[in-house]
Structure 1
Amino acid sequence: MKKSISEKVYFFFNTDDKNVDEHLPRNYFLLLISSIFTKLGDTLSNPKTVLAWIMNYINAPVYMISFIVPIRESGSMLPQIFLASYIKTKAKRKWVFVFGSILQFVSIFAIGLTAYFFEGVLAGGLIILFLIIFSLSRSLCSVSSKDVLGKTIPKDKRGKLKGYTVSVSGVLVLLAGLFLMYKSKNDASLLFYSGILVFASSMWLISAFIYSKIKECKSDIEENKDTWKEVLQRIKIVKKDAHFRNFIIARSLLLCSALTAPFYVLLAQENIGKESYLLGLFIIANGVASILSAPVWGKMADISSKNVMTFATVIASILGVGMFVIIEVFTDFSKVFWLYPVAFFFLGIAHSGIRLGRKTYVINMAEGNKRTDYVAVSNTIIGLILLVTGGISALASILSVELVLLVLSLFGLLGAFMSYKLPNVEAA
């Protein structure tokens, strides 16, 4: 019997699997392709690189630029504890993801148009407004996607799937970075930069269409109860469930890789300059890091996702401490231009592992609606912590960028220890 494309892809990545559910290869393929498009869109509208670059290009105030990373990251997490109640009333959660993806398409498309037609304070304010809408839409996708993944893909295949997704999208990111470097050397215009965002927005529209084709079984649904009462009930999980509480503490300390990323870019600008080719180099470094590391992290996560979190955080933390020493002690070496893209490459490896490890861990901790609660509560708490620590880091960086990098890296080492102490959920 001739195999379909989805079956060929599935068995190429899972050569040891012989007897599988009839919908598994199709769902595996659709989840892979859908995620590749959204990750490419994420890269081409990344607030740490592309969006910050464009806002500076259109003369948006610096204080507005400093808000975009905390808004994008925490804004997608904070509402999840409220959204969980709504999502649990839906038998098929893939449609929540589809709706959220369409809203993300609209938001990034609007940011692209804003960047082209406006400038200064007005442009900055509109971009932040649309970024808030984007983040809220992203939260819909975050909660629902983990539930759909848990229902459609077996536990021992989830980490590997995420790893291959990041790796394949990394190839596209690498190509995008090379193209940006080429255009930067040929005086890229405002139309080009706005076009990047418009193109990025289309990635979510394509992803929504692909995701809608997933074969998802019906979930147990709950009646729409009092939202605030539901929220309070979920918060109590943190108090009652020691395992879950320790995971949140560990994950809070793992934020070092996300929070330190912009400071590598700032250090490069301070010590090397603001030449436009650096944007392409940082994107390329991150793309290559994903290509090389994600499949390895994915395979490791299927064995022990908590060990992936531990090892990856140790890498990010040692890197941060090392960069502090170079900046403070070996000042001549800090002027070498390739130092920062190389450092960003290793940070990309670490960040890929941390994200993949903690996502796999929380999905494998529980089943059904309990999984939805775990994802929603943890993301809401982390979103709040990210917003607070991100604001403090932004203020502290005015005094010393490298000192903030050191402090965050030391917290990361503590997070690595906390991750190591967590039980291995893959063995359950």
Structure 2
Amino acid sequence: MAFFTYRFSVNNPNLTIISFYFWVFLFSISAGFAGISYADIIGKLLPSKDRTQLYASKQFFSSIAAFGGGLLVSKIFGLKNLLFPLNYSVNLFIGFIGLVIASIGFILIKEPDSEIKESTSSSFFSYLKEVPIYLKNDLHFRKFIIVENMASFSIMLLPFYIIFAKEHFNIDKSFIGKYLMFQIIGTILSNIVWGYLAKKHSSKQIVNVCIRLGGIIPLLAIILSFFGPNVYSLLFFLIGFILSGRRIGFEPYLLDIAPSNRRTEYLGIRGSLNIFVVLLPIFGSIVINLFGFYFTFILVSIVMLSASVILKKDTH
């Protein structure tokens, strides 16, 4: 992407844009495979309690790196002698360097030996037919899929909290940056809290805390709307908590319930069936247009708290 930006963006911008679709698509496909492989390696290397602590530590450092990366990007675009397309190319090249360093780190990981399955002649479509069987035979996995999709309702509201604030408080654009800064601070600081909880509790309990907090936040948005735009900033601080909590809790919990010989299948099915993350923002905009913000906030709280009840009844 850095090369295409530097080489073609000025004289052939359409080619550059088309290439971006291709490279991002390729990156997304690669990330899908890499995510499954990464989680499988973690499942092999670490026991349950250590996995959750690792995810908390990883999220803490990645949050700091993301914050630092934002400052770096701002600095690069602020340099007057670094004009387009060089400024964008430099940013993309820095991303390339980061991924190379990460790849070296993965190469150095010594993956433990595992049983090699005998190859079968079954087709991809035959495998797809087995997916409902996995869900039918494993109650814990089925509940996990249901709960994670229900928990996605909290993600559905993220773009609408700022829209609600703009309409309710009639604020200017400066508040948007302030709210996002509170969210970043919440994301970073929450990892310390999640890391402490990971030492004391299981990944399932962390997921449950995250879901309950996600159910409280929409109600809190209604309450804080009566106290002005500055107090409303607290909402985004807590949003940072649930964003980190989802990344720290859900995947380690899935690794806990997935059989070791079926871990990759469970991870793949989970990734494919977690479709509400994509669909719910569209659904949220429709519900808000029809019934308003308050109704939607209350609806999401009910769904989230219902997910918490389902998770609590799971005896795994």
TM superposition score normalised by structure 2: 0.80
Residue aligning to 1:221: 116
Does 2:245 match 1:313?
Answer: no
Q: Structure 1 residues 196 and 407, CA, compared in 2 at 3 Å: closer, same or farther?
A: farther
1:234 aligns with 2:131: yes
Relative contact order, higher structure (CA 8 A, sep 6+): 2
Task: Give the whole-Å Cα distance in 2 for the aligned partners of 1:337 and 1:113.
Answer: 42
Distance 2:151 2:198 in 1: 16
Among 12, 22, 25, which residue is 1:132 paired with?
A: 25
Q: Identity, % of aligned pairs?
A: 22
Q: 1:293 to 1:377 in 2, by over 3 A?
A: same
State the number of aligned residues: 308
Q: CA RMSD in A?
A: 3.7
Q: Superposition pairs for residues 28-427 of structure 1, below 5 Å?
A: 109=2, 127=20, 130-178=23-71, 192=87, 195-222=90-117, 223=119, 225-268=122-165, 270=167, 271-275=170-174, 278-279=176-177, 282=180, 284-301=181-198, 303-327=201-225, 330=226, 333=228, 336=229, 339-340=232-233, 342-382=234-274, 384-396=275-287, 400=292, 403-424=295-316
Structure 1 195/125 Cα, relative in aligned 2: closer, same or farther at 3 Å? Answer: same
| Gap regions ≥5 residues in structure 1 | 1-105
Helix, strand or coil: the match of 1:205? Answer: helix
**1:121 positional shift:** 9.3
- Residues 59 and 247 in structure 2, CA contact (< 8 A), matched pair in contact too: no
Contact map agreement 2:212 2:305 (CA 8 A) in 1: yes
Secondary structure of 1:218 counterpart: coil
User: 1:395 Cα shift?
Assistant: 4.2
Structure 2 unaligned runs (5+)?
A: none
2:64 is matched by which residue type in structure 1? V
Displacement after TM superposition at 1:292 (Å): 2.2
Distance in 1 between the 2:11 and 2:219 partners?
41
> What one-letter code is carried by the residue in structure 2 that aligns with 1:285?
F
* Residues in 1 aligned to 2:222 and 2:68: alpha-carbon distance in whole angstroms: 31
**Counterpart in 2 of 1:75?**
none
Q: In 2, are the aligned partners of 1:252 and 1:415 still within 8 Å (CA)?
A: no
CA displacement at 1:237 relative to structure 2 = 0.8
- 1:44-88 deviation digits (Å, cap 9, x = unpaired): xxxxxxxxxxxxxxxxxxxxxxxxxxxxxxxxxxxxxxxxxxxxx
TM-score (normalizing by structure 1): 0.61
Matched residue type, 2:49: D
196-205 or 366-375, larger mean C-alpha shift = 196-205
Residues 171, 288 of structure 1: 8 Å contact kept = no
For residues 181 and 295 of structure 1, do their structure 2 counterparts lie closer, same or farther at Cα, with a shift above 3 Å needed?
Answer: same
